[in-house]
Amino acid sequence: MSVLVAVLAGAGVLLVASPFLWPVRSREAPRVRLARVHDLLARAGLARASASGFLVVSALAGLAAGAGALAVLPVAALDGAIALVVAALPWAALSWRARARRRAHRVVWPDLVDHLVSGIRAGLSLPEAVSALAGVGPASTRAAFAAFARDYATSARFSPCLDELKAALADPVADRIVETLRMAREVGGTELPLVLRSLAAYVREQEAVRAELEARQSWVVNAARLGVTAPWVVLGLLASRPEAAAAYNSPLGSVVVGGGIAITVLAYRLMMLLGRLPEEGRWFR
């Protein structure tokens, strides 16, 4: 009887915990993940790259790094950590590129808006003013506006061409500019230059504040990264000795290395979350 009660109690606990242990996975989940990877590629300026190809390359890089580390440092836990770090490096590089691209674009959006307002006041239509940015706009955005000019010259459909332009620029400020142009095209109005100039002034003020904050916190972030990296460099040097490698390959050594990896990852993620400035999301996608 006691065995039956224990089995029923265990089954009840398992049923209660099952939604957390085995959550329902939607069939759309893989597509959502690939969409997120593709969005990150677009924000990094690599919209034509394949999301699945990027994932495969990251996995192969991690496996190759793990195999190479195994030949040099025969410590299983450390080799696994190296493989995971190398597999995550393409993601880190892509995220850094996306942030750098957005940071560079923040500086040029006000100038781009000024060129757009000048074209509108000179009597150009909206499609002509936007297409003209391929020649007079900032250099980092000319390719996207040149593609818009070609698409519009081919199809003469303003709204779909704006969608392609928005996807190519992949920036929150660009989203607002594009949607403002779309609304002005569809409903009309004479306040478009004033709205665009107000947006440019707001972006300039926001970029000035953000640049000052990033300059003040950069040395703190760099010191924290050095503090996270230094112990693992020392561990790598120690693991090159046979007696140290044997100690770290023991069950207790694996626990020590695994615990150190978990604490390092947790501390680094916490440091980045606490020190990262909030990024403006894309609302019009």
Residues 180-220 pLDDT 10s:
888 887 776 677 788 888 878 888 887 788 777 777 777 77
Structural domain includes residue 122: yes
Structural domain includes residue 282: no
Structural domain includes residue 150: yes
- Mean pLDDT along residues 222-244: 78
What is the rounded distance in angstroms from the CA atom of residue 48 to the CA atom of residue 34? 14
Q: Could you read off the pLDDT of 114-153 as tens digits, one per residue?
A: 888 888 888 888 888 888 888 887 777 888 888 888 988 8
The DSSP code sequence of 66-109 is HHHHHHH---HHHHHHHHHHHHHHHHHHHHHHHHHHHHHHHHHH
Measured CA angle at 101 (ends 99, 106), to 5 deg: 95
Q: Could you read off the pLDDT of 15-46 as tens digits, one per residue?
A: 555 555 555 554 444 555 677 777 778 777 77
pTM of this prediction exceeds 0.75: no
Structural domain includes residue 136: yes
Local confidence band at 3 (pLDDT 50, 70, 90 cut-offs): very low
Local confidence band at 1 (pLDDT 50, 70, 90 cut-offs): low
Q: Look at residue 282 in the predicted model and tell me its pLDDT.
A: 67
Structural domain includes residue 24: no
- Alpha-carbon dihedral of residues 174, 278, 89, 69, nearest 10 degrees? 180
CA-based nearest residue to 168, from 156, 153, 180, 150: 150
Structural domain includes residue 23: no
| Domain assignment of residue 181, given as a range | 107-207
What is the rounded distance in angstroms from the CA atom of residue 172 to the CA atom of residue 71? 46
Residues of the chain above pLDDT 70, percent: 84
Residue 279 DSSP SS3: coil
The number of folded domains in the chain is: 1
Q: Is the dihedral of CA 194, 199, 200, 206 positive or negative?
A: positive
Structural domain includes residue 173: yes
Q: Look at residue 20 in the predicted model and tell me its pLDDT.
A: 54
Structural domain includes residue 217: no
Q: What average pLDDT does the chain have?
A: 77
170 and 46 Cβ atoms separated by less than 8 Å? no
247 and 137 Cβ atoms separated by less than 8 Å? no
- Mean pLDDT along residues 59-85: 79
Local confidence band at 227 (pLDDT 50, 70, 90 cut-offs): confident
Instruction: Flag whether pLDDT at 102 surpasses 80.
Output: no
